[in-house]
Amino acid sequence: MTATQPSTLLATLGGRYYAGESVFAAEQSEIFESMWFCAARCADLANPGQFKKVQVGSESVLVVRGRDGLLRAFLNVCRHRGAQLCTEPEGHVRRNLRCPYHAWTYGLDGKLVAAPNIATLTDETGMGIDRYRYGLVPVALTEWLGYAWVCLADEPPPFTDTVIDDVTSRLGDPAAIGRYGIDGLQVGHREVYDVAANWKLIVENFMECYHCASIHPELVEVLPEFSRGLAAQYFVGHGAEFGSDIAGFTVDGSAGFGTLPGITAEQDRRYYAITVKPTVFINLVPDHIIFHRMYPMSADRTVVECDWLYTDEVVSAGRDVSRSVELFHRVNQQDFDACERTQPAMSSRAYRNGGVLVPAEHHIAAFHSWVVSRVGEAR
Ligand code: FES
Ligand SMILES: [Fe+2]
């Protein structure tokens, strides 16, 4: 948080940070390809041979479940002459990943297992070829909260000091997130939004609530304090309290599904929003979790996958989650509409020097400084 007078207007970043391909290229290498990036829900890849292709910065990455049950990630590039191994967004192979071009074939652990005439091939020393040296290029992978997080950096930053620290510094208590048991929950619903806006507009929107009263009528009904525009994320450990007549976090305030088994009385009847840099939002409510993953595709396009996670009991019993889903689905649409409305102005001369942050948005300045610290000043 920048030390400022409470009534000051602070400058935002200039429009060029949101519209230019050169800033986006710098963000790809210095942010998405350098940090831990949330790639996939592990349970979507439950069986050996299941894979998912995800865009991480400028790279295509495959997350694959091995025959040994472990999840691994690889660059989606054949070591022969570079064809993309998988072009479909997800799928299931029986034993191996086979390049369709000349049939080089890789095990689910990345090792090169077959290629036409492989036994006759030698490397530059005249030896038979090393199946690992010509195997798929591995990418670091860590599982946390039931998601596979990947990192393309040669030396990934410590997961605890980055990802987990973002969550802890928001909630103020390292044990708080664990009480929700997110890794054991099931996806009750998923929506994929293709948003015509820069990823940073989506982050900034998520960080402030100055807009809540004007665009989120259903949300402020459930969380009356949001109508005052206070950014709940600014106050460490604070969760916005449900209105006194609200039974659950649903579109009409009707009852949800009780409370998740591990949470404390203090966490009940409250909503906590967490931004995990660079591309994840976690929303905690007593009976479910709303988990957003962004995939920045270009300077003006971001795909957002949003999971609604419930206990196994709720999902396998086929209980009706529609009123619960509808609340945040509306919030998402309202937010993404606002971001799409903002994006075209990023290349307007009116926004060349940016706009301003009102006091309720001042904490966004820290996000802006962080972006500049990673990608440098844009000209
Ligand atoms: S490029 Fe993959 S086998 Fe040739
Ligand atoms: Fe919003």
Q: Cα(31)–Cα(33) distance, rounded to whole angstroms?
A: 6
CA of residue 94 to ligand 1 center, whole Å:
19
Q: Is the pLDDT of residue 128 over 90?
A: no
**pLDDT single digits (tens) 147-189:** 999 999 999 999 999 999 999 999 999 999 999 999 999 999 9
CB burial of residue 259 (10 Å; 0-12, 13-18, 19+): middle
**pLDDT single digits (tens) 292-350:** 999 999 999 999 999 999 999 999 999 999 999 999 999 999 999 999 999 999 999 99
CA of residue 107 to ligand 1 center, whole Å:
15
Using omega within 30 degrees of 0 as the cis cutoff, is the peptide bond preceding 278 cis? yes
Q: Which of 74, 80, 87 to probe ligand 1 with, by most ligand atoms within 8 A of CB?
A: 80
Pick the residue whose CA is nearest to atom 3 on ligand 1: 102
- pLDDT in the model for residue 2: 45
CB burial of residue 365 (10 Å; 0-12, 13-18, 19+): middle
Q: Is the pLDDT of residue 211 over 50?
A: yes
CA of residue 267 to ligand 2 center, whole Å:
21
Q: Cα(189)–Cα(245) distance, rounded to whole angstroms?
A: 26
**How many C-beta atoms lie closer than 10 Å to residue 178's C-beta?**
13
CA of residue 105 to ligand 1 center, whole Å:
9
Q: Which of 77, 101, 113, 134 to probe ligand 1 with, by most ligand atoms within 8 A of CB?
A: 101
- Whether 341 is in the pocket of ligand 1, judged by its Cβ within 6 Å, is no
- Whether 80 is in the pocket of ligand 1, judged by its Cβ within 6 Å, is yes
Task: Taking residues 129-146, report their average pLDDT.
Answer: 95
- Whether 81 is in the pocket of ligand 1, judged by its Cβ within 6 Å, is yes
- Three-state secondary structure readout of 240-294: EECCCCCCCCCCCCCCCCCCCCCCCCCCCCEEEEEEECCCEEEEECCCCEEEEEE
**pLDDT single digits (tens) 2-38:** 445 678 999 999 999 999 899 999 999 999 999 999 9
Q: Cα(135)–Cα(316) distance, rounded to whole angstroms?
A: 40
Pick the residue whose CA is nearest to atom 1 on ligand 1: 81
How does DSSP assign 352-375, residue by residue? TT--EE-GGGTTHHHHHHHHHHHH
Ligand located closest to 205 CA = 2
Beta bridge partners of 301: 298
**pLDDT single digits (tens) 107-116:** 999 999 999 9
- pLDDT in the model for residue 231: 67
CA of residue 204 to ligand 2 center, whole Å:
10
- Residue 1 binned pLDDT confidence (cut-offs 50, 70, 90): very low
- pLDDT in the model for residue 343: 98
Q: Cα(131)–Cα(111) distance, rounded to whole angstroms?
A: 6
Residue with tokens 């969760």, as numbered in its chain = 239
- Whether 78 is in the pocket of ligand 1, judged by its Cβ within 6 Å, is yes
How does DSSP assign 339-355, residue by residue? HHHHGGGGGSGGGTT--
- Whether 370 is in the pocket of ligand 1, judged by its Cβ within 6 Å, is no
- Whether 102 is in the pocket of ligand 1, judged by its Cβ within 6 Å, is yes
Q: Cα(97)–Cα(95) distance, rounded to whole angstroms?
A: 7
Residues 6 or more apart from 266 whose CB is under 8 A from it? none
Ligand located closest to 219 CA = 2
CA of residue 94 to ligand 2 center, whole Å:
43
Q: Which is more confidently placed, 73 or 174?
A: 73
CA of residue 318 to ligand 2 center, whole Å:
29
Atom of ligand 1 nearest to the CA of 102: 3
Percent of the chain with pLDDT over 70: 98
Percent of the chain with pLDDT over 90: 89
Q: Cα(29)–Cα(59) distance, rounded to whole angstroms?
A: 10
Q: Which is more confidently placed, 7 or 204?
A: 204
- Residue 236 binned pLDDT confidence (cut-offs 50, 70, 90): confident
- pLDDT in the model for residue 232: 63
CA of residue 76 to ligand 1 center, whole Å:
12
Cβ contact 26:375 at 8 Å: yes
Q: Cα(116)–Cα(143) distance, rounded to whole angstroms?
A: 36
Q: Which of 21-25, 45-49, 225-229, 327-331 has the lowest mean pLDDT?
A: 225-229
Cβ contact 34:155 at 8 Å: no
**pLDDT single digits (tens) 246-257:** 999 999 999 999
Report helix, strand or coil for 23.
helix
Mean pLDDT, the chain, integer = 95
- Whether 99 is in the pocket of ligand 1, judged by its Cβ within 6 Å, is yes
- Whether 83 is in the pocket of ligand 1, judged by its Cβ within 6 Å, is yes
